[in-house]
Structure 1
Amino acid sequence: MRKLSYFIATSIDGFIGAPDGDAQFFTQWVDEEYFDYLKAEYPETLPTQGRVPLGIDDLKNRHFDTVIQGRASYDLALQADCTSPYAHMRQYVVSRSLTRSPDPAVEIVSGDVAAKVRELKREGGLGIYLCGGANLAGQLVDEIDELVIKTYPTFLGSGMPLADAGFAVREFTLDSVKSFGNGVVVTTYSRKR
């Protein structure tokens, strides 16, 4: 069975963005060493819009062949006139307000997103990349099989949490830790079953 992986950037105090969701400030930590790691290990998480100009559009997907993202994340692509931000994967956008997809390669999920994820998990193939904010992560928290947390060396004090989920103890097992000279740490956890 495929797994759902929450691949997410966060501050050292656990916020994935400013209170309004902006997370552009994290890009200051993407230096050559860290970018080389992302290209080698998680190339599919780099949006198509950036892959083409960088000449890395030929990189093969290693972990994911499907992406599910929230409306706010998808809106960032739309603001940049990109209707298919992950053209190298199957794309799902969770939204109650979008009634039609602006792109035939993007499917809108407006109903039970957890049921949709369970359906996708039963299919063959690579994993599912959860690319979204706190709200979507909160809706799917009990479906998340893996956390890949990119912790950036910055302290925000407040902002958008890692997941907007009610309190419950959910245990994970540490799989790996990779640190970089710029202070970024990538920690991978698997759900304890």
Structure 2
Amino acid sequence: MDFIHYWAEPKMPRKLVYYVAVSLDGYIAAPNGDPSAFPVEGDHMHVVLGEYTDAVPSHVQQALGLAAPHTIFDTVIMGWNTYNPEISGGIDNPYAHLHQIVASRNARTVPENVELTHDPLARIRELKQESGLDIYLCGGGALAGELLPEIDRLVLKRNPLVFGSGIALFGQASYQPFPFSHTRTRNFESGVSITEYERSS
């Protein structure tokens, strides 16, 4: 009997990517969670709105006439304070173009197309076993600290601002060094630099 061997492209591991704006002193938002101090104009925005369109909220895409290409992310995970419609102006479906997951320790009411998880670390590990594009870790800091063992890639939009205090990049995560390797830095006239790191083996 003859056997036919079918060769498929090897499946690339699905990665959890922490893509986030950060101040020079390591904060992602003001103490009340407000990130509006970060500039939304400048030559770095062609990367934010072009290369990372998948990470632009759906209502912002619509306002700017953009369309997510679904080339980087197909899933987003965020903490309750990042998602909270009461804080975000009543928007309860911010990433309608992605599979949306909200992490909270408490019982919450979310729309049907938003998944609620009480164990984000376990959920991310499950998602990594499934096929798909990478997973966008949207924030906030406390969730990033909890998911740090599973973060594979960092994309830090470093802004020329010092906050002094605020929401830390990894919240109040316990001390545990995780090695990352620098892969690329792009500097812009706006003063923003986008620096990328990959988890070291």
Q: What TM-score do you get using the length of structure 1 for normalisation?
A: 0.92
Query: Secondary structure of the residue that 1:157 maps to in structure 2?
Result: coil
Counterpart residue number, 1:185: 193
Counterpart residue number, 1:48: 58
AA aligned to 1:42 is Y
Q: Does the Cα contact within 8 Å between 1:43 and 1:62 map onto a contact in 2?
A: no
Following superposition, the deviation at residue 30 of structure 1 comes to 2.2
Q: Does the Cα contact within 8 Å between 2:16 and 2:150 map onto a contact in 1?
A: yes
Unaligned 5+ residue runs, structure 1?
none
Following superposition, the deviation at residue 32 of structure 1 comes to 4.6
Query: How many residues are aligned here?
Result: 188
Following superposition, the deviation at residue 113 of structure 1 comes to 1.3
Unaligned 5+ residue runs, structure 2?
1-12
Counterpart residue number, 1:142: 149
Measure the CA separation in 2 of the matches of 1:98 and 1:10: 30
Bigger radius of gyration = 2
Measure the CA separation in 2 of the matches of 1:187 and 1:62: 20
Percent identity over the alignment is 40
Q: Does the Cα contact within 8 Å between 1:41 and 1:62 map onto a contact in 2?
A: no
Tell me which of 13, 18, 24 is aligned to 2:30. Answer: 18
- As a proportion of its length, which structure holds more helix? 1
Q: What's the Cα RMSD here? A: 1.4
Following superposition, the deviation at residue 99 of structure 1 comes to 3.2
AA aligned to 1:8 is V
Q: Does the Cα contact within 8 Å between 1:174 and 1:188 map onto a contact in 2?
A: yes
Counterpart residue number, 2:124: 117
Q: What TM-score do you get using the length of structure 2 for normalisation?
A: 0.89
Counterpart residue number, 1:63: 72
Measure the CA separation in 2 of the matches of 1:134 and 1:79: 17
Tell me which of 160, 175, 186 is aligned to 2:183. Answer: 175
Query: Secondary structure of the residue that 1:149 maps to in structure 2?
Result: strand
Query: Secondary structure of the residue that 2:44 maps to in structure 1?
Result: helix
